[in-house]
Amino acid sequence: MDIAVLLLSMCVFFAIGMPIAYAMALSALVGALWIDLPVAAIMQQLSSGVGKVSMLTIPFFVLAGAIMAEGGMARRLVDFAAVIVGFTRMRGGLSQVNILATTIMSGISGSSVADTSAIGSVMIPQMAKKGYPRVFATNVTISASLQAIVVPPSHNAVIYSLATGGVVSITSLFLAGILPGLLLGFSLMLLCLFYAYRDKHPKGEPVPIRQAAKMLVDALWGIVTLVIVLGGILTGVFTPIEAGAVACVWAFFVTMFIYRDYKWSELPQLAYRTLQTVAMVLTLVATASCFGYIAAIMQMPAKMTEFFVAISANKYVLLMWLNIMLLVLGTALDLAPLLLICTPILLPVVKSFGIDPVHFGIVMLLNLGIGLLTPPVGTTLFVGCAIGKVSVDDIMREIWPFYYVMFAVLMLVTYIPAISLWLPHSFGFH
């Protein structure tokens, strides 16, 4: 009955259109009053939920990604990818350029919405101009941006780490997401190659040597950000927090003093937008910690474990049911709130079945990331439609092959844990 009151009150608040953060906070308050818990305990949890030093990772990487995404990096990454693909004269070259540029951008921005906005605004018009259908170009862009959910410096990987209470390190998650992200990008490239030969898409055009050299030099300034983030963390020079701070300084230096495409007068607005994003995330973290605290007191994780054990004691069957549940939930709620709500509840369940928390984190991120591409709450989907100037109905009629590829990658990552765990084990971070 306690759990029913907690969940039902949250659903009622969602149904009347209350913002997710407030709905979680009020449902936690209702739950506390129901079990006669002092309200002061909720207030203490609200503040302690955002009082962790590791929270600094989020604002640093959000700011670094925003500077790079808006400071001309996207266009230069597209040029870099075009040079690489152009030498092959591959059919459907622009779709390959789109995916490759998004792969690199994902390792800088950490956000699928930022990738779709930055790469899509450059690539979708170019692809349409060369004769690619706008719907296809938009589908390629939004599907490829799913890589940003898992590859470092993914903001959502940081949120998952925080939701586990520090049980899973940010470094382990960053490393665990690299191979699944690359696998997704490669799989989408194969799908686009199939479309290219079936629909006779134009071939990639080689770039003149002198122009290609200039493009490569321009792009390398930004790609160094990847070296700073990954290299610094792997060598032990930086912690993830320090890597984010250094990435901010480097992104600012490259954007304002080397590229010089961004105006100094625009910086206050960029800082304001970053502050809005960070404030939204931290509010969600604070209120979700209250909800998780009440759920733990009500023994929801233990009861969930009993429920799944009653269904099956086989961990592969459990993973199937969790995939189905997370895919359905991902279509109804945004990614960050679901991570904060579901992780404290499901983590004890998967640990009791012997499933590695790092592996489960990547599975969870992929599941909920697919939800960003599905209505009615698909943030990345709607941003892609706005940039591509296409309707959601048109996208949904033709996106199914991309869904199949994403589901196939999800199944591989789910049932072959080594795809996620090999790098963390190899570098001794797990």
Q: What's the CA gap between 219 and 108, in Å, rounded?
A: 12
**pLDDT tens sequence across 111-145:** 888 888 888 888 888 888 888 899 999 999 999 99
Q: What's the CA gap between 288 and 282, in Å, rounded?
A: 10
**pLDDT tens sequence across 187-220:** 999 999 999 888 888 777 777 777 778 878 877 8
**181: confidence class by pLDDT, cuts 50, 70, 90:** very high
Give pLDDT, residue 290.
80
In whole numbers, what is the pLDDT of the chain averaged over residues? 83
Give pLDDT, residue 430.
64
**pLDDT tens sequence across 2-57:** 677 777 888 888 788 787 778 888 888 888 888 777 777 777 777 776 667 777 77
HEC profile of the chain: CHHHHHHHHHHHHHHCCCCHHHHHHHHHHHHHHHCCCCHHHHHHHHHHCCCCHHHHHHHHHHHHHHHHHHCCHHHHHHHHHHHHHHCCCCECHHHHHHHHHHHHHHHHHCCHHHHHHHHHHHHHHHHHHCCCCHHHHHHHHHHHCCHHHHCCCCHHHHHHHHHCCCCCCHHHHHHHHHHHHHHHHHHHHHHHHHHHHHHCCCECCCCCHHHHHHHHHHHHHHHHHHHHHHHHHHCCCCCHHHHHHHHHHHHHHHHHHHHCCCCHHHHHHHHHHHHHHHHHHHHHHHHHHHHHHHHHHCCHHHHHHHHHHHHCCCHHHHHHHHHHHHHHHHHHCCHHHHHHHHHHHHHHHHHHCCCCHHHHHHHHHHHHHHHCCCCCCCHHHHHHHHHHCCCHHHHHHHCHHHHHHHHHHHHHHHHCCHHHHHHHHHCCCC
**pLDDT tens sequence across 223-278:** 787 777 777 777 778 888 888 888 888 888 888 888 887 788 888 888 888 888 78
131 sits in the region (left: phi over 0; alpha: psi -120 to 50; else beta) called left
**pLDDT tens sequence across 359-375:** 999 999 999 999 888 88
Q: Taking the model in full, what pTM does it have?
A: 0.86
Give pLDDT, residue 416.
94
Residue with tokens 């792997």: 234
Q: How many CB atoms lie within 10 A of CB 242?
A: 15
What number is the average pLDDT over the span 407-419?
94
Q: How many CB atoms lie within 10 A of CB 317?
A: 13
